[in-house]
Amino acid sequence: MAREPYLKVTWTDEVTGRPGYLVIDRLGRGVSSGGLRMRAGVTLAEVADLALGMSRKEALAYEPGLRYQPLGGAKGGIDCDPLDPGAAGMLRRYISAMKPLLQTYWATGEDLGLRQESIDAACQEAGLRTSIDAVLPLLADPDAALKGLDEAFSVTVDGIGLGDLAGGCGVAEAALTALDLVIPDRRATAVIQGFGSMGGATARFLARAGVLVVGIADSEGVVANPDGLDVETLLLTRDEHGRIDRSRLRATDEKLPRDAWLDLECDVLVPAAVSYCIGVEEAPRVTARLIVEAANCPVTPDAEALLRDFGVIVVPDVVANSATNSWWWWTLFGDIPAEADAAFAKIRTWMRRVVTDILTESTTTGGLPREIAHTLSERILETR
């Protein structure tokens, strides 16, 4: 029998009548960690699935001897289009309603459709110090810890903040590790769906590692070039919603329909936008040898089984996209300094070890990488 989450909350906005949700999958050290997303049509079941995934991400980040030890997993969701003129007001009302839980049990941050600055502003308006107030009692010196985290968030590398880059560094390292194991000794190509904080940063790290980014999808469509896109120009001229400035494309770049990202020839496919975007209908269109999940739950379980029959390896989200969460806590608890080089070194070392272990066991046993990651995380949770 499946274990029930620790807490499920459904909230109805008094202004719009639309719902919002919070699921705390479990507590660790008395609190839980997980982002807040805003998406039209988000469901309680989706949020619960993501909260369970956060528990697993927390577990996989466990390392003996660190000040940061795993928390529980949680997730919040607001049923609203982030481009809706009323989105900011709905966010403020949701945060106000969830204030008691944000004070005690739930530490949150940005997720799909929301930026950290917007969440911070809503929290402060509600009388909260931060969006992670629930974790502060675990710290010996909360003021010093928050100062260090603020310093880390103020770091930029070539025009992009470290808070955005941390997650993409992890996804890219997961992809590079898998490439070394599956397709060594060749210059690889990649297609990325989603060009927000996670997808954009992943594109930068892959391109700088020598991978040709041959396609990028945003909400307006797909841009592609078999010889590689100019990732840096596209990154630094995108808008706040991750939309590419088409006026900055080169003459040799192509503009394609929005769903063409699945059909582009590549070695690595990185879904970095919405959940459940690769199902059994989409799986036969995948040309890549590797899918690295930068989004939460982009590949459905049935599709993953089908993809394995096609020889496609899926590096699961509970590993690949977990670096943002871990970086927050490594920094806050003082395990790494507020510096880009230290952050990237820690993320790369940790990600390469975990991905190598999981893919090696998958090759040995024939199990899906996701199943192996889940088993490993549950084993860790049982002993914590």
Local structure of residue 69 (DSSP, 8 states): -
48 touches 283 (CB < 8 A):
no
Which helix (H) or strand (E) is 145 found in, with range? helix 142-154
**Tokens for 365?**
């046993």
Whole-number Cα distances in Å, 11 to 3, 14, 91, 106, 247: 23, 9, 12, 16, 42
Whole-number Cα distances in Å, 380 to 90, 209, 271, 376: 37, 32, 27, 6
Which helix (H) or strand (E) is 13 found in, with range? none
Catalytic residue, from 8, 57, 75, 99: name it: 75
- The DSSP line for 201-260 is HHHHHHHHTT-EEEEEEETTEEEE-TT---HHHHHHH--TT----GGG--TT-EEE-GGG
Cβ contacts of 196 within 8 Å, gap of 6 or more: 241, 242, 272, 273
217 phi/psi in degrees, rounded to 5: -110, 135
**Tokens for 261?**
């990202």
Q: Is 255 a catalytic residue?
A: no
246 touches 222 (CB < 8 A):
no
* Residue 150 one-letter amino acid: D
Instruction: Report d(CA 272, CA 300) in Å as an integer.
Output: 15
Interhelix angle 323-332/44-60, rounded to 10 degrees, is 60
Active site residue ranges: 75
